[in-house]
Amino acid sequence: MALLGLESGIWRFPEGWVAGCIAGMSKTAFLFAGQGAQSVGMGKDLAEAFPAARALFDEANRVLGYDLASICFQGPESVLTQTENAQPGIYLVSWVALRLLQERLPSLQADATAGLSLGEFTALAAAGAMSFEEGLQITRLRGRFMQEACDATRGGMAAVIGLDEGPCREVCEATGVTLANLNCPGQIVISGPADRIPAAVDAAKARGAKKAIPLPVAGAYHSPLMASAQPRLAEALSRVRFQAPRVPVISNVTALPHGSPETIPPVLIDQVTSSVRWEASMRHLLAQGFTRFIELGPGTALNGFLRRIDKSAQAFNVCDGASLEATVQALAGTP
């Protein structure tokens, strides 16, 4: 199912797509993890059990010129959590999970893809907008540029639990911080200068937040403090040969599908300093009739967000051998 593009401001989908929706066809979205999902050992059991997975880890090492696989499998955690390792590592493990699921269930196809921040790059590769190799290289560079932006500034982040977007936005405006992640009802992440985060935490609690907790992060992701990474990312993206996605890929910035290939890089550049509109992205897919969501890659945070957004949605995940087997068994024979 190919997304044909944007003409005169109107999305045009393949012939028969709308008819399929009307007929009640089950629609599946593949979801991809973002930074923070990494853990030492991720992907190891998949590489040990499946030759196809081992081959992908070996290919990644060749493309990057260093042993990313060993960092994923063995750490140490201090090395894995470095942004320039965590981002390609999560991308790689997510790609392995995708390929193994497709190998086991060849008839299973995504009708759309989406990814949280870093995961948007995996979502684009999964939809054919760029190659696996290009995605691996660009996520490595993106991680490096973002780490350098963190090192050049003094930023922080905090999770705000149990406060709606409106009051949280007012807290941000009053304290000089930014809405970084709008993950799901009752969970928002704020970002900004480290010396302003304590005041923002106190203000959020005063406005009725159940919890407001500073996060152990390297910097102020998805805030203006990341702006220095954008020109270098733009230059790197100019070397990627973007293609029209085969299926809609939801943008974190707009919570709507990406458009033509030439419009993809500017949105990815904006994403570095913009809010991640994850809840709105999922609500867009739900409104389009999506009922089945498969999270691919380390962790299960995206399924947790989905349950808070719509408990009726079917949620599956593949992060290791056990979850792969469980998802295959659950999906085998379903339309």
Which of 39, 94, 117, 251 is an active site residue?
117
What letters, b where the CB count within 10 A reaches 16 and e where it falls short, cover 148-165? Answer: bbbeebebbbbbbeebee
Torsion of CA 8, 9, 14, 17, to 10 degrees: -140
222 is catalytic: yes
d(CA 180, CA 21): 33
SS3 91: helix
Which of 39, 191, 222, 223 is an active site residue?
222
19: which 2 tokens?
């008819």
Question: CB pairs under 8 A, 24+ apart, for 6-13?
Answer: 6/259, 6/260, 6/263, 11/257, 13/248
Residue whose C-alpha is closest to residue 82's, from 18, 151, 134, 24: 151
Do residues 84 and 148 make contact, with C-beta atoms less than 8 angstroms apart? no
152: which 2 tokens?
């050049």
The alpha carbon of 24 is separated from its chain's Cα centroid by a whole number of angstroms, namely 28
CB atoms within 10 A of CB 29: 26
Do residues 182 and 193 make contact, with C-beta atoms less than 8 angstroms apart? no
Contacts of 255 (CB under 8 A, 6+ apart): 277, 280, 281, 283, 284
CB atoms within 10 A of CB 125: 27
Catalytic residues: 117, 222
